[in-house]
Amino acid sequence: MLTSTRAVGTAVAAVALAAAAFAGAIPLLVASAVLVALLAYGWPALLDLPAPGGTRTVMLLAGFGAVAGVHLTKGEQALRNLPLVLAMAVLLAFVNEMIRHDGRPRLVDSVTGTVTGTVIAVATSGWLATVRSDGGVALVVACAAALAVAAAFSALSFRGWWGEGLTVLVGVVGGGAVAAVMPDLPAVDGVWAGLVAGLLVAAAHLLLGRMRVVRESRAAALAAIVLPVALGGSLVYVVGRIVGV
């Protein structure tokens, strides 16, 4: 899959998440679960892991468990049960290796790849935790919209590091522009959200843009598409805590 196609796909995923956050808690819950499923499906192909079925299972259980746990947790500390989810997921990652019957080649690669993918899948629940706070919906919409704008801009062909810098700048402008039309979100908070979104898109573009597997495997490309959006969940929650949302 071409880099420009993946960038547009990331923009579409971010727009869908922003629309779900604006629509309410249940649509955002569904959108987060879909992100987890897409990431889990493509992650083993992206890292060429030797036990893809087990990796997908662990990521799905952890991601769905985190999303459901945050949705059902009462109070502002919506992420308080995530350490337990992550601990159980790490345990499942080792169990997955123990039940393999292929001689366990590339054991370390399989464990580390599964745990890394699980952490990203769990990070998706940060979107749900952020909307629980006052002004959280506006912050989520601003960050997701900035992700979409930055991803769409990254579809253009630029050579050198200055292209990544422009992507970050576009994300900042996008976040600030959304904050300007949303009365519940201060402009500085939108700028922070845009900065995080721009950095995510630029880092993903720099890290994954030259990987051969994302051009040859649709499953790997799918994981690359949703990766910035899924990981953005934890970062937007941190931004919300910093700016006091």
Confidence at residue 160, expressed as pLDDT on a 0 to 100 scale: 62
- Could you tell me if 126 and 235 are in contact, meaning their C-beta atoms sit under 8 angstroms apart? yes
Give the Å distances, CA to CA, from 211 to 2, 17, 208, 215, 220.
11, 26, 5, 7, 10
pLDDT tens, residue by residue, 147-191: 999 998 887 766 666 677 888 999 999 998 988 888 778 888 888
pLDDT tens, residue by residue, 203-218: 888 888 778 888 889 9
| Close Cβ partners of 147 (under 8 Å, ≥ 6 residues apart) | 10, 11, 14, 171, 197, 200, 201, 228, 229, 232
Confidence at residue 93, expressed as pLDDT on a 0 to 100 scale: 94
Query: Residues of the chain whose pLDDT is less than 50?
Result: none
CA atoms of 243 and 45, how far apart (whole Å): 37
CA atoms of 82 and 122, how far apart (whole Å): 8
Confidence at residue 2, expressed as pLDDT on a 0 to 100 scale: 72
Confidence at residue 131, expressed as pLDDT on a 0 to 100 scale: 87
